[in-house]
Amino acid sequence: MQPAFDQPTILTFEPRGSSAEGYLTVAAVQTDIPFEIRRVFWTYFTPQDISRGRHAHYQTEMVLVAVHGRIELTAEMVDGATFHFLLDKPTRGLYFPPLCWHTMTYSHDAVQLVLASTPYDAADYIRDYAVFRSLR
């Protein structure tokens, strides 16, 4: 199946509610999320100076959302194109296509939600940057 986008892309989700009652944000498959969600996970209490990610996937597409706090992300495609993003609103997500090396740093209070297009498979991970670069 073809990825939805060929590079990292910011997605915007419509909030519903008010400051008096609070907010709800919905991300529906095919309307807001461009793939069938096969795995959901989240990260939290990440020390502020820690860099996470540092990998790519052969097949997996992902959407990352900073449900709370802020996440600074760097993404690199196999052609060398590099992108920088800041996620700091629960109404924005970042889509990662396959073959996108990504690195994240977090505020200590950050809660990151990840929606993935595949179940976990260790063989789908590219954890060696030299291997990733050799795919050009």
Enzyme catalytic residues: 55
d(CA 57, CA 44): 22
HEC readout, the chain: CCCCCCCCEEEECCEEEECCCEEEECCCECCCECCCCCEEEEEECCCCCCEEEEEEECCCCEEEEEEECCEEEEEEECCCCEEEEEECCCCEEEEECCCEEEEEEECCCCEEEEEECCCCCHHHEECCHHHHHHCC
